[in-house]
Structure 1
């Protein structure tokens, strides 16, 4: 640190390039934020905090993984499958068979199983069961319970922030971002909330009307949202995922993302065989620049499996630096191929593939002298820019016509389906935005507290959501006990 500090104090007289200056600034701050300027006693305490936090973080994540894998909803009566599309029944039958219960159907908490179940199942009690299992992960007062873990994590983070001269953990983290502080973040989130919540309430009213038509006298609950939204989508746009999915064969969508990158940046991706990978599902591509020079190697791992985290992300096995090119991967959890049916993606999954590939492009196209500034080593609230720009291409009509071809006939997606896809882009966005913002605001609330003693995490969550006026039909996308 003395050596870095020495350079940092003299930086104005060193004629540094902007990249060198950025790297020096980041390196200096990393030392300071790691406690290099603290006295010996405070450094010792910081070490203890960091050690405890890393152990708690692993325990917290493992508990969620255990909860995800522990829940198994076996269905043995065909009438309990009412409403479920054939492809989904087939995949559930294969899951049950793999779990040693042939002749049954198995549903789990993984997105590729839970979401279609909530969307299509006519069996309301089973929808309730799978939904409640999902939102109560880490909150079952058993060996996977996370309530005390999250309380300790929040408490230790606050102590760490105070040791390093900040009033709360949020301001400690945000000091290293474009947003700069919690006030700026909260004014953005609250502004968005003022638009999102009324939209979500209007959507709930629409769903209730749809439910009332059935004459059962039932009230819309959280586990009904996906099911009636799917019905409403059909009614409003006469478009169901069953209409779009045949055009979104995984390999075609991926080729579409590659083709867009070729048009925008002149790069090509070519599949490589015989490269060692950690699982048979992983595929490998060589990425070349327009002049034929190698930009990097790209790995894709698209399907869920036991022990693999859900969700989607981009990562590096090796980062770019000078002449060393990067090894980049995209990991996702898309529906697996079943029998003769290939992996067919939902609209959401199509955008996810383009989004994560946007991150991959950020990592692959970078040209820097230093690892610390290359690729996605940028501030956290900038890192989403390339991915969000890239996902916008996914539904551009010109782009859809490049890749959206029927997996059986090869027919290009018809204009009327494209029109409906574009019309429904804001459909259900009240719900989507509200559940996401609720989680973001909950996260900010947790990390702007200045006293954590005896904090009851669930009571804290409830109070935060009540204060926002979050409606009972929507839960925050991530609750405190599974907010990875």
Structure 2
């Protein structure tokens, strides 16, 4: 039986102990790799693969712990220790990927008599070794190793500059006109009579949505679009240059070609074609959406000739309130954080046949963090941690982080949800409906990691499918945040306990259709930006000029001089060239969801069939096969097209 999960203990210890644990993981991995290479031929397949799997899992899990600590630990010394450890761990991972002796052992194994998941894993392993450059000459492998190690450091620096740069604007109290009463109370004027609004999400999003003062919105918008400037100007340039050098050294025309090759999409050309296909499909709708916003702006400013980017969220909300009879502020009292959290837990528990048990006294790295065990009857499935509220030096967006990669019979999977939702306190923690969708989305990633964390090999565990599929399960779970029955199960007024009225939910869904064209085109701008920055020659590349060019191409909002969105676009590190993934996955998610539309969103039967077919196999099958196993057919574009044209 796997041991009780306790990986968080190694994040809550002193920095020196954390370093020692990382060093122990390095030693475990090194000794395992040496043992693998010393196996006499003919080698036993299972023995060799088990040694390799455990060696690399020790490295992977230590790196995962370091990533969680680096992104969320409140102690600077611990963040520094985790950053240093992560570099050492990644260096060894690179060394193993370039070790011809390891490759030769795995390539020598006859897996023809093994089961399908094992054959699939070894096929992926050999491909990844070759993509890493293991079959190149020694000089090439040496330079590849240097580049990989440097890229780890550059990526950490890029992320750190974003995480640590929270901007604050000082405004007169009158700038809060239009904001909800709880927001106004939480932003009382300081001794100088000014209110202070930060670029953290719980401040930023409501302000941009509700503040009537356009000049105040502009000031906050510009502050947010200047984060990580100027620090990341040079850092991003190095990131682009080193990745380009690495890709060309390995025989690819650019990094985008390298990054797309092992994805469902297969090539940078296909990625570019997909972006254009979606952009074209949404072009006319986007144009209509923009004209509606402009007409609404002219009610306030009769001579207005264009909508500014800091007007978009505010005008979008006004249109929904006035033309669709949906006031987004009116639903916030129904989305109090603790009730939303319980709703997500209750719905997913019912659908997937598991229960969640809060772990009192579990080691956590901040008092805000909560730990939960996931149980199937009396059997433990895994553990997750909720780190859900903003604080200084913490990751600024919303994401699921791996903590432990599970393996059947040996280790239970552990995961962390890291978000930035309002925190319960003196004021009720009232969420936007978009926050509720985000909660469901990230919980979808978490369930994928936990349910997929019981494969026979750690190398197949969790979300180790093609990268451009991993958003589909999380995007599909967002649908429960839009369903009447699902919402009414938890969305109750924090004062009266009345459920969110069904007619309000229906109006909300109709209102949500407005602005879809603009949203899709904005997503295609992000996708095109990530692809183009990595498919163009970086020498002499002006990243800001690329932003200027593509923003005008894909959106009706021209680039605003003196802003630097791309410098705080963290996906340029993690996702690099493949931001298209989000829309590619959404096409699949909409198709997966048709089964639930037919059989009922609160019906456990399709949910558990989906769990078995799509989530539990992890990376043991190609993503297209997982989807076909569930749908009974290949996925197609029809459901997405219906969604895009709805309303």
Same fold (TM over 0.5): yes
Distance 1:106 1:338 in 2: 19
Contact 1:155 1:452 in 2 (8 A): yes
Q: Which runs of 4+ in 1 moved over 3 A?
A: 1-14, 101-104
Once the two structures are superposed, the pairs formed by residues 250-261 of structure 1 within 5 Å of their partners are: 250-261=337-348
Query: Going by fraction, where is helix more abundant, 1 or 2?
Result: 2
In structure 2, the partner of 1:299 is: 385
Once the two structures are superposed, the pairs formed by residues 223-262 of structure 1 within 5 Å of their partners are: 223-262=310-349
1:73 aligns with 2:160: no
The CA RMSD measured in Å over matched residues stands at 2.2
Distance 1:470 1:78 in 2: 33
Match of 1:90 among 168, 171, 185: 185
Contact 1:439 1:478 in 2 (8 A): no
- SS of the residue 2:348 aligns to: helix
In structure 2, the partner of 1:309 is: 395
* Cα deviations by residue, 1:445-471 (Å, 9 ceiling, x for unpaired): 11122x2221222123223344x2532
1:124 aligns with 2:210: no
Deviation at 1:8, TM superposition (A): 4.9
Distance 2:529 2:437 in 1: 26
Deviation at 1:29, TM superposition (A): 2.7
1:19 aligns with 2:117: yes
1:332 aligns with 2:419: yes
Distance 2:444 2:289 in 1: 31
Deviation at 1:84, TM superposition (A): 1.9
Once the two structures are superposed, the pairs formed by residues 405-484 of structure 1 within 5 Å of their partners are: 405-449=492-536, 451-466=537-552, 468-472=553-557, 479-484=565-570
Deviation at 1:444, TM superposition (A): 0.7
Change (3 A) 1:25 1:74: same
In structure 1, the partner of 2:162 is: 64
Change (3 A) 1:478 1:260: farther
In structure 2, the partner of 1:378 is: 465
Distance 1:103 1:463 in 2: 41
Distance 1:195 1:452 in 2: 31
Query: Which stretch of structure 1 is more off in the superposition, 325-334 or 19-28?
Result: 19-28
1:158 aligns with 2:244: yes
Deviation at 1:34, TM superposition (A): 2.4
Change (3 A) 1:40 1:215: closer
Distance 1:407 1:44 in 2: 60
Change (3 A) 1:478 1:381: farther
* Cα deviations by residue, 1:86-135 (Å, 9 ceiling, x for unpaired): 11112223xx77xxx68642201112111211111122222111111222
Change (3 A) 1:41 1:281: same
Contact 1:197 1:470 in 2 (8 A): no
Distance 1:474 1:463 in 2: 8
Deviation at 1:396, TM superposition (A): 1.5
Q: Which runs of 5+ in 2 are unaligned?
A: 1-98, 571-647
Change (3 A) 1:296 1:102: farther
Change (3 A) 1:6 1:38: closer
Contact 1:269 1:286 in 2 (8 A): yes
Distance 1:393 1:122 in 2: 32
- SS of the residue 2:311 aligns to: helix
In structure 1, the partner of 2:287 is: 201
Distance 2:159 2:399 in 1: 16
Distance 1:228 1:163 in 2: 49
Distance 1:302 1:198 in 2: 38
Deviation at 1:349, TM superposition (A): 0.7
- SS of the residue 1:223 aligns to: coil
Deviation at 1:204, TM superposition (A): 1.9
Change (3 A) 1:11 1:394: farther
Deviation at 1:153, TM superposition (A): 1.4
After TM superposition, the score normalised by the length of structure 1 is 0.91
* Cα deviations by residue, 1:258-316 (Å, 9 ceiling, x for unpaired): 22222222101121211110011111111101x32111112111111111111111122
Aligned residue pairs total: 467
Distance 1:414 1:240 in 2: 13
Q: Which runs of 5+ in 1 are unaligned?
A: none
Distance 2:215 2:139 in 1: 57
- SS of the residue 1:213 aligns to: helix
Distance 1:283 1:104 in 2: 35
In structure 2, the partner of 1:36 is: 134
Deviation at 1:417, TM superposition (A): 0.9
- SS of the residue 1:107 aligns to: strand
